[in-house]
Amino acid sequence: MRQKYVYASWLTLHFLLIASVSCRDTLQMVVQGPTILPFSFKNPLKKAEKIVSIALAQDLAASNPIRQALATYLHISGIEASYGYFAPNVPGSYKLVFELHYHDGRVEYELPSVSSAAAAFRIAGLLDNIGRTRSDALREHLVKMMAQSIWREHPDVETVRAIFGSIGLPSVRDFEHGKRESYEFLYAYDFSLQNEAPKPNDH
C-alpha cells in the first residue's frame, strides 16, 4: 500500500508539472497573440502566466539548485515544452539563400541542403529558430555557422552573402487568383575569408 502512495504522489507532481508547463505556454501564446480572445484578456492572463512561471521556479536565479533540478527533470522526462504545434495559427516559414562570390567574379546560389526528408524538417526548424529569435547576436551567429558549413563545401569561394527572408503563404482565394508564395527580405550578412565579423546589411 505504501508503494502505491509513493507512486501516486509522484504521478501527482509529474502531472502538476505537465499542466503548469502547458498552461504557461498557452498563456504566453495568448499574451503574444493574435488569438480570437479579446484584447482585454491580455493583462489578467499575463499575470496568470507570471504566477505559473513562479510555480515552475522560473523567477529563481539560473544557478539555483531547485530551478536546476526542476529543469533537469522536465528535460529528461520530455515535458519541458507544451503541445501547441501549429497553434494558434500556422506561421509562415523562412528561407536562407547563400550567394557565393568566387575570385573570378562568378556568383552561385546555394541553399542549405541535407540528404533526407527527415533532416530537411530539422533544417526548416533551424530556420524557424533563426527567424523567430529576438536576439540579433544569436541570429547572426547561427547564420554565420551555416555559412561556414557552405564554405567547407566550396573552399574556393571568396565571400559569402547570406540572405535571410520569410516566405509569405497565399490564402486559398489569393491562390485561386494566381498569387503564389512570396519571399520577403529580412536580413543579409556578408562573410569573407579573413574571418572578419559579418556585416549586417539591412533589415
Partner 1 sequence: MQALSERLLGFLFPDGTDQWLTILRVGLGFQVTFYSFSLRNDWNYLLSGAGNGVVSRNLAEALLSVESHFVPRLGWLVTLAAPVGLSEETVLSIAWGCLLVAGCGLLVGLACRFSAILAWFLQICTAKSGGFVSYGVDNFMTIGLFYLMLSPLPDRFSLDWRIRNLRPKHPQLLGFWRRVLQLHLCVIYFFSGLTKCLGSGWWNGSSVWRALIRPPFNVIDPEILVRWNYVFPVAGIFVCLLEITYPFFIWNSQTRKIWLVCICVMHVGIGVTMGMYLFALIMIVLNVAAFGPGLSRMERCTASLQPQKAVS
Q: Which is nearer to partner 1, 112 or 198 (CB)?
A: 112
Q: Specify the residue for cell string 502547458.
A: 22
Query: Three cell numbers at 84?
Result: 501547441
Query: Three cell numbers at 176?
Result: 485561386
Q: Specify the residue for cell string 508547463.
A: 21
Contact at 8 Å (CB) between 57 and 70? yes
Q: Of these, 119, 182, 184, 196, which contacts partner 1 (CB under 8 A)?
A: 119
Site for partner 1 in 124-183 (CB under 8 A): 124-126, 129, 141-142, 145-146, 148-149, 152, 167, 169-172, 175-176, 181
Check binding of 92 to partner 1 (CB under 8 A).
yes
Check binding of 32 to partner 1 (CB under 8 A).
no
Q: Of these, 32, 44, 109, 121, which contacts partner 1 (CB under 8 A)?
A: 121
Q: Of these, 44, 51, 61, 83, which contacts partner 1 (CB under 8 A)?
A: 83
* Cα 115 off chain centre by: 22
Q: Which is nearer to partner 1, 156 or 181 (CB)?
A: 181
Q: Which is nearer to partner 1, 106 or 113 (CB)?
A: 113
Q: H or E element: which one contains 73?
A: helix 65-76
Neighbours of 44 (CB within 10 A): 10
Minimum distance from CB of 115 to partner 1 (Å)? Answer: 4
Q: Which is nearer to partner 1, 85 or 105 (CB)?
A: 85
Q: 97: which strand partners?
A: 163
Burial class for 146, CB neighbours closer than 10 Å (0-12, 13-18, 19+): buried
Query: Three cell numbers at 135?
Result: 536576439
Check binding of 39 to partner 1 (CB under 8 A).
no
Angle 65-76/2-32 helices, nearest 10 degrees? 90
Check binding of 8 to partner 1 (CB under 8 A).
yes
Minimum distance from CB of 83 to partner 1 (Å)? Answer: 4
Contact at 8 Å (CB) between 182 and 93? no
Which residues sit at the interface with partner 1, rule CB under 8 A?
A: 4, 7-8, 11, 14-15, 18-19, 22, 26, 29-30, 35-37, 62, 68-69, 71-72, 75-79, 81-90, 92-93, 95, 112, 114-126, 129, 141-142, 145-146, 148-149, 152, 167, 169-172, 175-176, 181
